[in-house]
Amino acid sequence: MTPISLDIPKDRCEQVDWLESHLLGLQLGDLVAELQVVHGTRAYELSLDQALGESMDSVLQKGLAALDEKQLRQLLEHPQLLLSLQNEVVLRGSEYWLQLPLSREEEITLASQWKLLETVMLPPASAPVSPAIRGNWFGQATIAAVLSVAALLLIAFSVRDRLVPASAPGWGWEKPGVLAVQLPPRQYLEQLANAAQDWFKKRPENASDLARRIAQFRQGCSTLILTEHTALAQPDRDWLVERCRAWAAKLDAHLIAIESGEDISSVRAAADETISKLIMAIRDRAQTIG
């Protein structure tokens, strides 16, 4: 199978059309996974707000043509942003995104679900229909609009497992609720240490899976560094961020090692040691808080 990323056009206008076609397409997960391999840990260094800034609303209304060349390049160099942008488009995108042409595969997928949508959302022809809807163009237009939105949601969510690559974070410090601000300081740090233990729940046996696992944990470091940690006093916040930067650097080194062809078991053992030490450091810090 030819890598999708090899088809990225050089021309800016063609690149916009190509990227839009993939943004809500069935192969976005595969494209993101390919680009993450190319760009490594750099893929996680930018948030969607940082990349698009004030252009976000224009993108949701008018598409990717609202972006300049630098912003388009950032989407490709930080491919996890494409998944975030996909969610924004699905939830807040204008009719522009509904008018994009579908691939044959997407048309088949959508058609197979359409009758179910009509059954759920529209009454049978023989069923009584409210006069307010039957004689009101606005009511009919509303139904059509709902079905149009549903069509977009079908494309984006009914094939969710194919849209989101296996490398999508959701464990460790990326797990929902881990960075809960309502916890007492000591318990907050203990929760961070417990979340880091998730690393040991999965033991990758090949280079690709190990690189993905390290990159996921490294993304958690970025999340930790950029979180305010309002549950902690300022000295503890500063300590946590400073230490996490050091741990992130070690994880970057492990990722480089596995990408350079070093022995898998050796790199995994080194990563185990790094994460064991950071867990111990967080627990020790928690003990200093009354």
CB 64 within 8 A of CB 19: yes
pLDDT at 262: 93
pLDDT at residue number 131: 43
Dist. CA 242–CA 274, nearest whole Å:
15
- Each residue's pLDDT, cut to its tens digit, for the chain (290 residues) gives 467 767 788 888 888 888 888 887 767 777 887 887 777 655 556 788 888 888 999 999 989 999 998 998 888 888 888 888 887 887 788 878 877 665 555 555 445 544 544 554 445 544 444 444 334 433 444 444 444 444 444 444 443 433 344 444 478 998 877 876 678 999 999 999 999 999 999 999 899 899 999 999 998 898 889 888 988 999 999 999 999 999 999 999 999 999 889 999 999 999 999 999 999 999 999 999 86
Give the pLDDT confidence score for residue 119 in this predicted structure. 53
Cα–Cα distances in Å, from 155 out to 70, 162, 212?
Answer: 28, 11, 27
Q: How far is CA 248 from CA 42, 235, 253, in A?
A: 12, 20, 9
Residues 26, 158 contacting (CB under 8 angstroms): no
Q: Residue 113: which residues within 8 A CB-CB, separation 6 or more? A: 154, 158
Task: Report helix, strand or coil for 184.
Answer: coil
pLDDT of amino acid 40:
66
Going by C-beta distance under 8 Å and a sequence separation of 6 or more, which residues neighbour residue 42? 77, 78
Farthest-apart Cα atoms in the chain, separation: 72
Residues 80-110 as b/e (b if ≥16 CB within 10 A, e otherwise) read bbbbbbbeebbeebeeebeebebeeebeebb
Residue 181, pLDDT score: 62
Q: How many CB atoms lie within 10 A of CB 120?
A: 8
Q: 185, 233 in Cβ contact below 8 A?
A: yes
**pLDDT at residue number 136:** 43
Q: What pLDDT, on the 0 to 100 scale, is given for residue 274? A: 95
Q: Are 275 and 199 in contact (CB under 8 A)?
A: yes
* Chain Cα centroid distance, residue 153: 17
Q: Using CA atoms, how far apart are residues 153 and 72, in angstroms rounded to an integer?
A: 24
Domain boundaries, the chain: 4-97, 100-163, 172-287
- Encoding tokens for residue 251? 């994880």
